[in-house]
Amino acid sequence: MANRMPEWMLRDLSLPRLRRYIRAAHGDARAAERLYWWNIEVAAALLGSLHCLELALRNALHNALVRHHGRPDWWTVAPLNERGLKLVEDARRSCGRRLRSTTPDDIVAELSFGFWVSLLSHGSGYDRHFWVPVLHSAFPHYRGRRDRIYRDLTSLVLLRNRVMHHEPVHHRHLAADHDTIYRVLGYLSPELAKEAQTMDRFRAVLAGRADVLGGARPPRF
């Protein structure tokens, strides 16, 4: 059993980050290296489907709220809670630092995945003020309860943030995560879900995990 990673990995990637992989590999440093690289490979394979879901959700919710309120800056009249208003203001300020003038589309693009998912929550009466009158219509292929889709999306926000912040995801039930991405995407747009699946390499990457961790093939990302 190997017991030490290369010095350059410890220097360039940092021991505190690598310790999580060493623990997962039960102290085998060589296995931890392979797990680290495979984690990048599988995170990269999830990025495309997460990209499609985040943009489809953002646009579906935004378009529904524009129709409902009759204006592109619907957040100025919608019953957002204090945190929601702060996130919109933060997005406006961020755009203002980069752009000479800010449009509603700029703010929409700046708002986080978590913001859009929060509109489907129960808190602050969002179920009554957003889901019941308008946001259920953003999911034309879904007839279930709000709490189920909110639970699915909350889990995917955590996954998305771990992928985007280069955190471990190898310990998650990634096959279930992947299924959830496409299930929710199908509620929004079956056409986009079908097209994305033709380009998706996630299942091949997942199936190759044992080969990478066993050293039978090198990871690729």
Other beta carbons within 10 Å of 136: 17
> What is residue 72's three-state secondary structure?
coil
Q: Which two tokens stand for residue 182?
A: 């496409």
- Alpha-carbon distances, residue 109 vs 34, 56, 57, 105, 120 (angstroms): 36, 12, 12, 6, 18
Check pLDDT > 60 for residue 2.
no
* In the block, residue with structure tokens 């700046």: 110
Give the domain ranges of the chain: 7-213
Q: What is the pLDDT of residue 1?
A: 44
Return the C-alpha torsion angle 106, 107, 113, 115, nearest 10: -170
Span 153-198, pLDDT tens digits: 999 999 999 999 999 999 999 999 999 999 999 999 999 999 999 9
Mean pLDDT across the stretch 202-212? 98
The predicted-structure confidence for 60-97, as pLDDT tens digits, reads as follows: 999 999 999 999 999 999 999 999 999 999 999 999 99
